Amino acid sequence: MVMKKKRKNISYAKWGYIFILPFFVSFFIFSCIPLVDTIKYSFFEYYRSGIKEVGPNFIGLTNYIELIKSDMVLYGANTLILWIIGFVPQIVIALVLAAWFTDARLKIKGLQFFKVVIYLPNLIMASAFALLFFTMFSTGGPINSILLSLGVIDKAIDFTGSVFGVRSLIGFMNFLMWFGNTTIMLMAAVMGISVEVFEASDIDGCNRIQRFFYVTLPQIRPILAYTLITSIIGGLQMFDVPQILTNGKGSPDRTSMTLIMFLNNHLKSKNYGMGGALSVYLFIISGILCAIVYKMTNDDDPDGSKAAAKARKKEQRKNRRAK
Amino acid sequence: MKKKVISMLLVATTAATMFAGCGKEAGTTGANGTESAGAAVDAGDEGKIINIYCWNDEFRTRVEAVYDKVESTSDDGTITYLTDGCEIHWIVNPNQDGVYQDKLDQALLNQADAAADDKVDIFLSETDYVFKYTDKDADVAMPLADLGIDVDKDLADQYDFTKTTASDSDGVQRGSTWQACPGVLAYRRDIAIDAFGTDDPVEIEAKFKDWATAKESAEELKAAGYYTFASYADTFRLYGNSISQSWVEAGSTTVTVDQQIMNWINDSKEWKDAGYFDPTVKGQWNDDWNKAMGSESKVFAFLFPAWGIDFTMKPNWDGENGAWAVTNPPLEYNWGGSYVHAATGTDNIAHAKDIILQLTANEDNLKKISETTSDFTNDKSAMAELAQRDTFESDMLGTQNPFAYFAPVAEGIKIAPLSAYDQGCVELIQNSFSDYFQGEVDFDKAKANFETAIMERYPDITEVVWPE
């Protein structure tokens, strides 16, 4: 009896805490303190003029108000547009590829090989990728010379000189870099669907397209939502591709200037105050998006329908009250 | 198992790419700390390690070429050993994107707290931002007089504009340069013969003696199927360096755009629309611009100082030697120039003085640099002597003696009034109006874009004034 009691008192929990301690320490030093500092300095006037430091002087919400008055919203819209241009083809192609790759009947050979290949663009540094495109699509670059010598065009196209050109190039690069990643994620989701469901649909006479739209898509909805939101958050931070492609100018006419490029412009003068305020705005937007993801992925809806889950909960509550 | 291996590979490669952006600093700072024991033994005021901040190996090669105390340089080029036992540690950061200035500013701000061997002893700056460092309030560059250099006597043979450039608002000289950068018009001889029937520098000079005449010549070139210049950015220095007032007056928070800049904008738009520029080239320092210097290009001329011909055009030229010639430009101008400063707080005052004098004020040394690299150096009498020669051998210009053109230009240069905001103003006005020249935005939008950009870059700027 006594022995048993003693054993019960041994707590293994503290080892758990000790093992996860390194993360929390490094998080505190490298993430938490800078975060608090960023928020703090967003209320200050604090920048460098030449080699002289100005501030920090407390100025309240001035930075926030100045930002609202500036073209920040416009740059937000730019970011959103650039993201959509890249995301739409990305999700479509990824869905199609995921459906093909997981289709047991197609028996694609060298599946692993293709998976690696489509993931490869993601391994190249975005800046290197952008530099490559910058050179390829310059007015005197290889793409123009190929088109010219094939006779497709009779005058070099100024890809980086038009809004359409720059935006589609950025969208295309983002698509290329991320569709492999999305495909692999969606494949995991599709493979998580029980085989019986597919078999049942086959027996019921489902064709391939019907199966995709009525079985696969609804089943992977939570993952799709997750992909969407993480992609938006990634899109919010879009920087290196447009930065390198337009030389940091967001040209033409600042139509490809993203929020982070805008932030970078402020950091050229070490303007921690303004930069901090902009970061806080971004932080809030990302926070909201994260909350949405959290809600979506934490729904307990066994039959896949949110409405049904809600209705059942209501019922349960009613029953309880009735008792 | 297979899946596991591949997924682990993926994880490893992603992790590798994530970290690939990090460890770049090792090469630049690794040089310190090894000799500290030796320095402690040396009881004198003078430290054993001379830290020089610069952005490429140009200054190092100059030091190696002419500084008499140089013994050898390590293979990786980071340390130069001197005969008196001291070492020069080269701390090189690229100029692009302001990286060099960022690192230098950081080091200068920490100067007071740094250990003697880690202090910045000598640093370089370019004309575009020299004013930031010679500023008397910032006081990061020592007045040359405090080093024991008699500016009037020791530097008497330097071009006056280089002395003005390196002086603070009180006229105290805080830096010195080995090069002067008078610009010339460098043109292709074959195109000149094709379009004008002559490649004689005197006749070409007459065709570009002012902007109005230049425009007529541009029309002739266009008729023959050539472009006069590569882009609107090429002509900027001629206008931009002859502004009559500085971009920002001392103590002011207003950017004043000079009439000369407006002239550049108007002329460039006119030239661009008339087709005198190569339409594929946008701005400078990019691939298209480099290609415009090749033999396939239809571009007639470039506006460059000596370094431009040697460092920029030569690597891009793929035709035969001696195909280019130089002549006087429509406006006298100066472009670039690297200034040497002794950092306040240095523990190597004697060496700094020695290096500055030998590199920037010794006639024999400067002549040697000019003769070996065709660089135009900062010594009036040496340059006058070189200008007298009938021929001068170089790859680009054949036997033409460019010094005969550089020297008179250098005499005539009046440096535009400087401010600490010059670099941003020069860069951003070109960026903002690039869209206007391309026809992407109208004139007022380009103005607005410049205002936005300049206030982003310099938070203390409150207003931009345009000339009427």
| Pair (B353, B257) in one structural domain | no
> Using CB atoms, which residue from A112, A161, A268 is nearest to B6?
A112
CA-closest candidate to residue B188, choices B77, B66, B320, B338: B320
| Pair (B103, B204) in one structural domain | no
Q: What is the pLDDT along chain A (323 residues), one digit of tens a residue?
A: 455 555 667 778 888 889 999 999 999 999 999 999 999 999 998 888 777 777 788 888 888 998 888 888 999 999 999 999 999 999 999 999 998 888 877 788 888 898 899 999 888 888 898 989 988 888 878 898 899 899 888 888 888 888 898 999 999 999 999 999 999 999 999 998 888 888 899 899 888 888 888 888 888 888 888 888 889 888 998 998 999 888 888 878 888 899 999 998 888 878 899 999 999 999 998 888 888 877 776 655 555 556 666 666 777 777 777 65
**Chain A nearest-CA residue for B102:** A268
B-interface mutation test, from A42, A54, A139, A181, most B Cβ less than 10 A away: A139
pLDDT score recorded for residue B19: 44
CA distance B349 to chain A (A): 22
pLDDT score recorded for residue B262: 93
pLDDT score recorded for residue B222: 92
Q: Which domain, by its residues, includes B324?
A: 184-333+392-465
Residues of B whose CB is below 8 A from A177: none
Kindly give, in sequence order, each residue whose CB lies less than 8 Å from that of residue B444, ignoring residues fewer than 6 positions away: none
Mean pLDDT, residues B262-284 taken together: 90
pLDDT score recorded for residue B6: 56
User: Per the CB < 8 Å rule, is A123 touching B449?
Assistant: no
Q: Which residue has the higher pLDDT, B289 or A12?
A: B289
CA distance B382 to chain A (A): 36
User: Per the CB < 8 Å rule, is A50 touching B138?
Assistant: yes
Residue B86 forms contact with A (CB below 8 Å): no
3-state SS, chain A, equals CHHHHHHHHCCCHHHHHHHHHHHHHHHHHHHHHHHHHHHHHCCEEEEEECCEEEEEEECCCHHHHHHHHCCHHHHHHHHHHHHHHHHHHHHHHHHHHHHHHHCCCCCCCCHHHHHHHHHHHHHCCHHHHHHHHHHHCCCCCHHHHHHHHHCCCCCCCCHHHCHHHHHHHHHHHHHHHHHHHHHHHHHHHHHCCCHHHHHHHHHCCCCHHHHHHHHHHHHCHHHHHHHHHHHHHHHHCCCHHHHHHCCCCCCCCCCCCCHHHHHHHHHHCCCHHHHHHHHHHHHHHHHHHHHHHHHHHCCCCCCCCHHHHHHHHHHHHHHHHHC
Establish if B252 belongs to a structural domain. Answer: yes
Establish if B379 belongs to a structural domain. Answer: no
- B46-65 pLDDT tens trace: 788 899 999 888 888 888 88
pLDDT score recorded for residue A317: 76
pLDDT score recorded for residue B37: 35
CA distance B459 to chain A (A): 7
CA distance B136 to chain A (A): 11
**Chain A nearest-CA residue for B4:** A112
| Pair (B46, B105) in one structural domain | yes
The model's confidence at residue B18, banded by pLDDT at 50, 70 and 90, is very low
The model's confidence at residue B77, banded by pLDDT at 50, 70 and 90, is confident
Task: Count the domains in chain B.
Answer: 2
pLDDT score recorded for residue B174: 93
| Pair (B35, B49) in one structural domain | yes
Kindly give, in sequence order, each residue whose CB lies less than 8 Å from that of residue B339, ignoring residues fewer than 6 positions away: B124, B125, B126, B127, B130, B165, B166, B175, B176, B177
**Chain A nearest-CA residue for B96:** A247
**A·B CB contacts under 8 A:** 101
Mean pLDDT, residues B171-177 taken together: 91
Mean pLDDT, residues B95-112 taken together: 85
| Pair (B302, B159) in one structural domain | no
Residues of B whose CB is below 8 A from A274: 459
pLDDT at residue B313 above 50? Answer: yes
A-interface mutation test, from B101, B286, B298, most A Cβ less than 10 A away: B286
The separation between the first and the last C-alpha atoms of chain B, rounded to the nearest angstrom, is 75
User: Per the CB < 8 Å rule, is A123 touching B17?
Assistant: yes
Establish if B189 belongs to a structural domain. Answer: yes
Residues of B whose CB is below 8 A from A251: 431, 434-435, 440
Measured at the alpha carbon of residue A196, what is the angle toward residues A191 and A200, in degrees to the nearest 5?
A: 125
- B383-429 pLDDT tens trace: 888 888 888 888 888 888 888 888 888 888 877 788 888 888 988 89
pLDDT score recorded for residue B464: 92
CA-closest candidate to residue B293, choices B231, B345, B245: B231
CA distance A114 to chain B (A): 12
pLDDT score recorded for residue B10: 52
**Chain B nearest-CA residue for A257:** B453
Establish if B264 belongs to a structural domain. Answer: yes
How many whole angstroms separate alpha carbon B36 and alpha carbon A29?
31
What is the full DSSP assignment across B51-116?
Answer: EEEESSSHHHHHHHHH-TTEEEE-TTSSEEEETTS-EEEEEE---GGGHHHHHHHHHHHTTTTS-G
Establish if B126 belongs to a structural domain. Answer: yes
The model's confidence at residue B4, banded by pLDDT at 50, 70 and 90, is low
pLDDT score recorded for residue B5: 56
Mean pLDDT, residues B157-171 taken together: 87
| Pair (B164, B194) in one structural domain | no
**Chain A nearest-CA residue for B103:** A51
How many whole angstroms separate alpha carbon B413 and alpha carbon B423?
20
CA distance B138 to chain A (A): 6
Residues of A whose CB is below 8 A from B420: 49-50
| Pair (B319, B351) in one structural domain | no
CA distance B312 to chain A (A): 18
pLDDT at residue B26 above 50? Answer: no
> Using CB atoms, which residue from A51, A125, A156 is nearest to B133?
A51
* CATH number of residue B356's parent domain: 3.40.190.10
ipTM, 2 dp? 0.77
Residues on A contacting B at a C-beta cutoff of 8 Å? 45, 47-54, 70-71, 112, 115-116, 119, 122-125, 135, 138-141, 156, 158, 160-163, 247-249, 251-254, 262, 265-266, 268-269, 271, 274
User: Per the CB < 8 Å rule, is B460 touching A122?
Assistant: no
Establish if B233 belongs to a structural domain. Answer: yes
Residue B312 forms contact with A (CB below 8 Å): no
Whole-number mean pLDDT of chain B? 84
The CATH number of the domain covering residues in A31-298: 1.10.3720.10
| Pair (B120, B233) in one structural domain | no
pLDDT score recorded for residue B34: 36
Establish if B387 belongs to a structural domain. Answer: no
pLDDT score recorded for residue B27: 36
pLDDT score recorded for residue B42: 39
pLDDT score recorded for residue A298: 66
pLDDT score recorded for residue A25: 94
User: Per the CB < 8 Å rule, is A50 touching B132?
Assistant: yes
**Chain B nearest-CA residue for A115:** B6
